[in-house]
Amino acid sequence: MPTHPSSPRLPGRRRSVGRGRLAGAVCLWSAGVAVSALTVPGIAEAGTRLAEVASLEEVITNLRDVIVGLLVGLATLFATIGGVRYILAGGDPSEVEAAKRTLRYAAIGYGVAMLAPLLVGILQRIVGVK
Protein backbone atom coordinates (compact mmCIF):
# COMPACT_ATOMS: atom_id res chain seq x y z
CA MET A 1 0.00 0.00 0.00
CA PRO A 2 1.49 3.39 -0.97
CA THR A 3 2.33 5.59 1.99
CA HIS A 4 4.32 8.35 0.33
CA PRO A 5 2.43 11.70 0.33
CA SER A 6 2.88 12.20 -3.42
CA SER A 7 1.68 8.71 -4.33
CA PRO A 8 -1.89 8.32 -5.59
CA ARG A 9 -4.54 7.77 -2.96
CA LEU A 10 -6.60 4.65 -2.94
CA PRO A 11 -10.32 5.20 -3.56
CA GLY A 12 -12.44 5.21 -0.44
CA ARG A 13 -9.56 6.07 1.89
CA ARG A 14 -9.27 9.46 3.55
CA ARG A 15 -6.10 10.93 4.90
CA SER A 16 -6.06 11.54 8.62
CA VAL A 17 -6.23 15.14 9.76
CA GLY A 18 -3.27 16.50 11.69
CA ARG A 19 -3.60 17.80 15.23
CA GLY A 20 -2.79 21.35 14.15
CA ARG A 21 -5.61 21.37 11.61
CA LEU A 22 -7.98 19.84 14.12
CA ALA A 23 -7.04 22.44 16.75
CA GLY A 24 -7.54 25.22 14.20
CA ALA A 25 -10.93 23.80 13.25
CA VAL A 26 -11.99 23.62 16.89
CA CYS A 27 -10.90 27.24 17.48
CA LEU A 28 -12.75 28.43 14.37
CA TRP A 29 -15.86 26.49 15.32
CA SER A 30 -15.77 27.89 18.87
CA ALA A 31 -15.38 31.46 17.60
CA GLY A 32 -18.27 31.03 15.17
CA VAL A 33 -20.54 29.58 17.83
CA ALA A 34 -19.61 32.41 20.21
CA VAL A 35 -20.40 35.07 17.60
CA SER A 36 -23.69 33.37 16.75
CA ALA A 37 -24.58 33.13 20.44
CA LEU A 38 -23.86 36.83 20.94
CA THR A 39 -26.30 37.76 18.16
CA VAL A 40 -29.18 35.74 19.65
CA PRO A 41 -29.96 38.15 22.54
CA GLY A 42 -30.22 41.05 20.08
CA ILE A 43 -32.59 39.06 17.90
CA ALA A 44 -34.68 38.08 20.91
CA GLU A 45 -34.87 41.68 22.12
CA ALA A 46 -35.91 42.93 18.68
CA GLY A 47 -38.49 40.15 18.51
CA THR A 48 -40.01 41.19 21.85
CA ARG A 49 -40.21 44.80 20.74
CA LEU A 50 -42.45 43.72 17.85
CA ALA A 51 -45.37 43.26 20.26
CA GLU A 52 -45.15 46.65 21.98
CA VAL A 53 -45.27 49.09 19.08
CA ALA A 54 -47.53 52.02 18.42
CA SER A 55 -47.06 52.64 14.69
CA LEU A 56 -46.51 50.77 11.46
CA GLU A 57 -43.11 52.43 11.06
CA GLU A 58 -41.94 50.92 14.35
CA VAL A 59 -43.19 47.48 13.27
CA ILE A 60 -41.27 47.70 10.00
CA THR A 61 -38.11 48.94 11.74
CA ASN A 62 -38.27 46.16 14.35
CA LEU A 63 -38.95 43.59 11.64
CA ARG A 64 -35.88 44.81 9.76
CA ASP A 65 -33.77 44.41 12.90
CA VAL A 66 -34.99 40.83 13.38
CA ILE A 67 -34.39 39.90 9.74
CA VAL A 68 -30.89 41.38 9.68
CA GLY A 69 -30.00 39.67 12.97
CA LEU A 70 -31.20 36.29 11.73
CA LEU A 71 -29.39 36.65 8.40
CA VAL A 72 -26.13 37.65 10.06
CA GLY A 73 -26.40 34.79 12.55
CA LEU A 74 -27.08 32.24 9.81
CA ALA A 75 -24.32 33.62 7.59
CA THR A 76 -21.87 33.42 10.50
CA LEU A 77 -22.90 29.84 11.15
CA PHE A 78 -22.42 28.94 7.47
CA ALA A 79 -19.03 30.70 7.40
CA THR A 80 -17.96 28.75 10.47
CA ILE A 81 -19.11 25.43 9.02
CA GLY A 82 -17.43 26.21 5.70
CA GLY A 83 -14.18 27.15 7.40
CA VAL A 84 -14.16 24.00 9.50
CA ARG A 85 -14.94 21.86 6.44
CA TYR A 86 -12.13 23.56 4.52
CA ILE A 87 -9.63 23.00 7.32
CA LEU A 88 -10.65 19.36 7.74
CA ALA A 89 -10.82 18.59 4.00
CA GLY A 90 -7.39 17.00 4.08
CA GLY A 91 -6.73 17.72 0.41
CA ASP A 92 -9.81 15.88 -0.85
CA PRO A 93 -10.96 17.95 -3.87
CA SER A 94 -14.65 17.17 -3.40
CA GLU A 95 -14.55 18.21 0.26
CA VAL A 96 -12.63 21.40 -0.60
CA GLU A 97 -15.25 22.24 -3.25
CA ALA A 98 -18.08 21.59 -0.77
CA ALA A 99 -16.37 23.87 1.77
CA LYS A 100 -15.96 26.61 -0.84
CA ARG A 101 -19.62 26.28 -1.77
CA THR A 102 -20.62 26.67 1.89
CA LEU A 103 -18.42 29.76 2.22
CA ARG A 104 -20.01 31.16 -0.95
CA TYR A 105 -23.46 30.71 0.61
CA ALA A 106 -22.26 32.53 3.72
CA ALA A 107 -21.04 35.45 1.59
CA ILE A 108 -24.44 35.57 -0.14
CA GLY A 109 -26.09 35.61 3.30
CA TYR A 110 -23.96 38.58 4.41
CA GLY A 111 -24.81 40.35 1.15
CA VAL A 112 -28.54 39.85 1.68
CA ALA A 113 -28.18 41.03 5.28
CA MET A 114 -26.55 44.23 4.04
CA LEU A 115 -29.35 44.71 1.48
CA ALA A 116 -32.16 44.06 3.99
CA PRO A 117 -32.39 47.69 5.20
CA LEU A 118 -32.63 48.83 1.57
CA LEU A 119 -35.39 46.32 0.87
CA VAL A 120 -37.27 47.40 3.99
CA GLY A 121 -36.91 51.04 2.89
CA ILE A 122 -38.49 50.14 -0.45
CA LEU A 123 -41.29 48.36 1.42
CA GLN A 124 -41.85 51.46 3.57
CA ARG A 125 -42.18 53.61 0.45
CA ILE A 126 -44.64 51.15 -1.12
CA VAL A 127 -46.78 51.07 2.04
CA GLY A 128 -46.49 54.85 2.35
CA VAL A 129 -45.01 54.99 5.84
CA LYS A 130 -42.00 57.13 5.02
At 20-68, the pLDDT tens digits run: 777 777 777 777 777 766 666 666 565 565 556 677 777 777 778 888 8
State percent of the chain over pLDDT 90.
9
CA distance 118 to 25: 35
Where residue 17 falls (left for φ over 0; alpha for ψ -120 to 50; beta otherwise) is beta
Alpha helices in 1-130 (DSSP H): 19-49, 56-87, 93-127
Q: How far is CA 100 from CA 1, 15, 56, in A?
A: 31, 19, 41
Q: Is 15 helix (H, G, I), strand (E, B) or coil?
A: coil
Asked whether residue 69 carries a pLDDT value surpassing 60, the answer given is yes
